[in-house]
Structures are given as C-alpha cells and as structure tokens.
C-alpha cells in the first residue's frame, strides 16, 4: 500500500507513474530509469533537476536522514561504485523509484536490507 499523499508536487507526479516499466536511459512515461523518473516528475512539477543520478546528487542540498521530508531524494551505491541509484522519499520509511530492468516504477522500504546498506545520502531540491 503506498504512503499517504505527499503534498510534494514531484512525488505526486512520480506516484502517478507507478507501474511504468523500467527502461535504461528512459525519461518519459514509455519507460524510466531511476534518474529519468526523478527528472521527468520534478520537471513536470516545475522543479529543475539535472538528468543523471550523479549530477542530481552533486547539485542537491544535502539533508540529514533524520530530517527527510516526502519529495527528498535518496542516493544509493550499488556494489563499490559511486552514487548509482536515486529514489524519491515518500514518507513512512518508503521511497519510490524505477528499480531495474524487468521491473516497474514502485515503492520500496528503506529498511529492506538491500537498500538499507546501500543508502549513502539524501538531498533536496526546492
């Protein structure tokens, strides 16, 4: 069950796209990769963000995890590489993202062991 409505316009747009297929390099409702989902949803909400995950990380205002608000971005590492995945915090310990090939835009828990050990930072765009 998705979290309560966010009242964050970027998250609201992204929530309307749940079920959209993952597509590497995708940034349209035909398919999204993780940063493409953020780029599309935030642009539709009038919030300018860069297109790539790393650029979204570099340009975001850093936020301590204890101050997360719905609509903040969560940045993850995969294996030993640098920042390689982004999701949108949805509240109540959940986030919305385009996870990987063969999956769709969906919610996941920040407490899931896979995501918990890979979460490295949070950021905000206003």
7 catalytically annotated: no
| DSSP per-residue letters across the chain | -PPSP---HHHHHHHTTTTPBB-TT-EETTEE-HHHHHHHHHHHTT----SSHHHHHHHSEE--GGG--TT-EEEEE-TTSSEEEEEEEEETTEEEE--STT-BSEEEETTSHHHHTTEEEEEE--
59 as an active site residue: the answer is: no
Q: Which residues are catalytic?
A: 34, 85, 97
């Amino acid at each position: 069950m998705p979290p309560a409505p966010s009242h964050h316009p970027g998250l609201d747009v992204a929530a309307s796209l749940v079920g959209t297929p993952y597509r590497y390099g995708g940034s349209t409702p035909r398919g999204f990769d993780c940063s493409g989902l953020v780029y599309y949803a935030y642009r539709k909400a009038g919030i300018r963000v860069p297109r790539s995950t790393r650029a979204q990380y570099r340009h975001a205002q850093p936020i301590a995890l204890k101050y997360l608000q719905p609509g903040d971005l969560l940045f993850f590492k995969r294996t030993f590489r640098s920042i390689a995945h982004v999701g949108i915090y949805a509240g109540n310990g959940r986030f919305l993202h385009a996870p990987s090939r063969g999956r769709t835009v969906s919610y996941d828990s920040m407490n899931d062991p896979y995501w918990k050990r890979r979460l490295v930072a949070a950021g905000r765009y206003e």
